Amino acid sequence: MKNSTVVVAATVGVLAVAAVGYAVYFDSKRQTDPEFKRKLKRDRKRAEKLAKAEAKRLTEKSTQDIEEFLATATEEDYPTSMEEREQFCMAQLSAGEELFVKGPENYSLAAICFYRALKVYPAPAELVMVFQKTIPPEVFTIVMGMLSKDVQSKEEKYYTVFPPKEMNVKVEEKPEGMDVNGQRVMRRGLVATKGFTKGEVIFTEAPVISSLEPSLEGKNFCHYCLKEMISKDLMIPCNSCSVVVFCSDECRTKAGQEFHEILCTKNLLATSTGASATPSPAQALREYTKDSRNVVPGLLAKFLAKMVHDESLNSGAEYNSFDHLERLVYVEKTLGPDEEKEIELLKLALGANIPGIDQFITEERYLVMKARLLYNIYGISSAISPSLNVKPMPETHRSVRDRPITGAGLYRTTSYLMHSCEPNTKIVYSGRDHTVSLIATETIKAGDELQIGYIKNGKQSTEQRRLELFTKYRLQCSCALCEMTD
């Protein structure tokens, strides 16, 4: 063993001396022999050319592999159950690792595996951060390129499948008005795809989510559909709390499945078991909305709970409620004491039932979600009597003006209606619940833009209307009436 070690050491020493000697010789030739210098230059250029050609070949191969995969990715059946998704994700991560260690030829195939893992991972942003630290930069770049193409494709496709054709409308880019600098502002609006006569229903739509005006909770209005019940005999209570009622078993079941099971105060259960009288997190959120009369925090709590419910259904829908919310316009909000309190209450109310909600509800995300709701929600008039005594909601909302506002709702398609002081449609709640009907108020041709009034248009002057529109929506109206009286 000792002799072997000596031989190896001696061999290494000889090789080291030879290497040093060759380096000295090479440096001498490089400085004194012109032909040698020219040969080196030719060899370097040839090597660079070969390297560029190889890089181009690998890039083209990666691009081809990725485009072929993305073209068929939508047809691929990803698993739906949590257990299957976890197994699929782990298998793709393992396959990706095995591929990238084999070298650049397999980078694109490795990236496809990592992309598949991202598609089923519950927190893709976290996995992206792991990829950034653990896989080769070249592979990471391909993965991010695939994600970018995927997002771009999803964006481009969105308005080809939404709104549904049976609603007789489509979304198009339309001028919104002028900004403070006098520049025309473009925004997406709704256009009719067929003609309508005055008084005809263009479409009906149920909201993504809705909430009662807080002072009406637990009285004679349904917690789910907001319908007024004329008799106490028609009220169906919650089995776990005394703070809400429903108009039917169907509404009670839907509410429980979509959000109420998570947000129920469960005060009846606490009383029956002799539990502490300390208000539950859900009760604290309810008390806040009742005292402030702010509907939006409760709407957002329901919206987030419903997102979890929709995800659990594994319906295979390409776009979820959050995809819809993200595309709506809004006016930026800043963080204040109210928002800080609302974030705290939402995290507590949802935290026990929705893992990871603390990380999801950041200050920035909450402000954007709240701002989108304030710009796009509609005040719902579901009261039977037009003389119902309900104070006006303090938050910004679009609404009809002939009946009191009993709640608010967020609608996918109706949110795209733009304002005009002389609108060609009106909002009606003919079923006296949260389902909205859009009615033509004049003859409408295919291709006409559909508009409603965001604000009351009585005896207000153009200056008064424009001030209110700008204050609430940062909109300087340029409709025919405003232009005529300007």
Determine the residue type at 449.
Answer: E
Position 262 scores a pLDDT of 94
Per-residue pLDDT of the chain (486 residues; tens, 9 = 90+): 434 333 333 333 433 344 444 444 445 555 566 665 666 667 666 666 655 554 555 455 555 666 666 665 554 567 877 788 889 999 999 999 999 999 888 888 898 899 889 888 877 777 888 898 899 998 898 888 888 887 777 777 899 999 999 999 999 988 766 666 777 777 899 999 999 999 999 999 999 999 999 999 989 999 999 999 988 888 999 999 999 999 999 999 999 999 999 999 998 876 655 555 677 899 999 999 999 999 999 999 999 999 888 877 766 677 888 889 999 989 899 999 999 999 999 999 998 888 888 888 999 999 999 999 999 999 999 998 888 888 888 999 998 777 789 999 999 999 999 998 889 999 999 999 999 999 999 999 999 999 999 887 767 888 888 888 888 888 877 777 887 765
Residue 59: what pLDDT?
A: 53
pLDDT of residue 151: 77
pLDDT at 412: 95
**d(C-alpha 425, C-alpha 104), whole Å:** 60
pLDDT at position 20: 41
Tokens of 48: 């660079």
pLDDT at residue 389 in the model: 86
Name residue 242's amino acid.
Answer: S
- Counting residues of the chain whose pLDDT is more than 70, the rounded percentage is 80
Q: Tell me the sheet residues that pair with 190.
A: 171
What's the rounded Cα separation, in Å, for the pair 140 and 100? 11
pLDDT tens-digit profile of 189-246?
A: 999 999 999 999 999 999 999 999 999 998 999 999 999 998 888 899 999 999 999 9
Rounded Cα distance, 310 and 304, in Å = 10
- The residues, ordered by sequence, that sit 6+ positions from 403 with a Cβ below 8 Å of its Cβ are 381, 383, 386, 388
Instruction: Dump pLDDT digits (tens) for 9-34.
Output: 333 343 334 444 444 444 555 556 66
What pLDDT is recorded for position 297? 95
Residues 429-441 as b/e (b if ≥16 CB within 10 A, e otherwise) read beebbbbbbbbbe
> Given this model, what pLDDT does residue 70 score?
66
pLDDT of residue 67: 66
Take residue 159 and report the two structure tokens written for it. 């308005």
By DSSP bridging, strand 378-380 and strand 236-237 are unpaired
Query: What are φ and ψ of residue 121, in 5° steps?
Result: -75, 135
Beta bridge partners of 191: 170, 449
- d(C-alpha 358, C-alpha 281), whole Å: 14
> pTM for the full model?
0.74
pLDDT of residue 23: 47
Q: Which residues contact 295 (CB under 8 A, 6 or more apart)?
A: 211, 212, 213, 214, 289, 377, 393, 395, 407, 408
Domain at 165-206+411-484: CATH architecture? Beta Complex (2.170)
